[in-house]
Amino acid sequence: MTGRMRAFDGVGLRYALYGCEKARATVMIVAGRSEFIEKYAETVSDLRQAGYAVAVLDLRGQGGSDRRPEDRNIGHIERFSDYPRDILDFLEQHVRGTMPAPCFLLGHSLGGLIALSAAESGRERFAGLVLAAPFVGLRHDRYPTWLIRSAAWLACHTGRGGRQTGVARTAPPRFEDQHHTSDRTRYERNLQAARHDPPYLLGPVSYGWLSACIGEIKRMTKPERLASISCPVLVLSGGRDSVIPADAQARLAERLGAHHVVLPESGHEIFQEADATRDRALEATIGFLDTHSAATDNG
């Protein structure tokens, strides 16, 4: 079932709940930037077949959730903390008591950083985290991270935080021009789904979004912050990820004491990859869920 909820500040958020007969736990999917519920339909089906109920929330500013009235196509946020607060409110209002316990978080890219932050804020609420290509570093060939951070900070403090960081594309990249997945069918399927009315495609992010995310990466990857996350963690990384640096993901996994699975043939979008790669990611994910949902039951 799909529905809408009001966030703490009145923003409308779209969500979906997918039950499962005799479910052993619930997986809350935290999507990446510019993603939407429909993009995860195949993964939802796989998880349900494995015995897990699923809950998905469209992040504020994307998918079917409310966007900025002044420019609906710019990815923008005022405070990063709004993201994990929305996840925790969704958990309390629509998942806990309605969907089967325990609850796991599965976050991709931006959703991985949000999941980390939510797990730190909502201690003891989650039985485990699955982080697929988590957004814990910036890969940019032209500028160092400190310069990007400084430019974003300056823009925010001179009244330009809501402006976009780049020029919007006139159309999404062709399959041949992108490096996120090697699976043409899934890529084109997701583009088609994103073109529905209203269209879910987003343009560039704002300086405010960039500054907020860089600040949260710096805050959340400090050893003392990661030490506060006591639940088990699985990190999935793509060997061909052109978005998030491999060393940042490896360092995160080490500091968390996480099980780290590197998929050499995978691009950034691990759960949208070709079958051979995606099946390995699913096997690792479901194995992790099975192990730790059973441990929770026995504990």
Residue 298 falls within a domain, yes or no? no
**Which residue pairs from 169-172 have beta carbons closer than 8 angstroms and sit at least 24 positions apart in sequence?**
169/203, 172/201
Confidence check: pLDDT of 166 > 90: no
Question: What percent of the chain is modeled with pLDDT above 90?
Answer: 80
Residue 59 falls within a domain, yes or no? yes
Instruction: Check residue 72 and give its pLDDT.
Output: 76
- The CA distance from 76 to 206, in Å, is 5
- The pTM of the full predicted model, rounded to 2 decimals, is 0.96
Residue 101 falls within a domain, yes or no? yes
Which are the contacts of 184, defined by CB distance < 8 A and separation ≥ 6? 175
| Alpha-carbon separation of residue 240 from 112, 131, 234, 269 (angstroms) | 18, 17, 19, 10
Question: What is the overall mean pLDDT for the chain?
Answer: 93
pLDDT-derived band at 169 (thresholds 50, 70, 90) equals confident
What three-state secondary structure class fits 173? coil
- The CA distance from 198 to 195, in Å, is 7
Residue 26 falls within a domain, yes or no? yes
Q: What is the CATH number of the domain that holds 11?
A: 3.40.50.1820
Instruction: Check residue 299 and give its pLDDT.
Output: 55
How many domains is the chain built from?
A: 1
Residue 54 falls within a domain, yes or no? yes
List, as one string, the DSSP characters of 225-272.
HHTT--S-EEEEEETT-SSS-HHHHHHHHHHHT-EEEEETT--S-GGG
How much is the average pLDDT of 30-50? 97
For residue 29 the two structure tokens come to: 């999917």
Instruction: Check residue 297 and give its pLDDT.
Output: 67
Residue 36 falls within a domain, yes or no? yes
Which are the contacts of 134, defined by CB distance < 8 A and separation ≥ 6? 107, 109, 112, 113, 115, 116, 235, 244, 249, 252
For residue 215 the two structure tokens come to: 């600040």
- The CA distance from 74 to 202, in Å, is 6
Closest Cα to residue 26, out of 82, 87, 106?
A: 106
Instruction: Check residue 259 and give its pLDDT.
Output: 97
Structural domain including 263 reads 2-293
Instruction: Check residue 1 and give its pLDDT.
Output: 86
Residue 299 falls within a domain, yes or no? no
Residue 139 falls within a domain, yes or no? yes
How much is the average pLDDT of 44-62? 97
Question: What percent of the chain is modeled with pLDDT above 70?
Answer: 98
How much is the average pLDDT of 132-154? 88
Instruction: Check residue 298 and give its pLDDT.
Output: 59
Which are the contacts of 294, defined by CB distance < 8 A and separation ≥ 6? 24
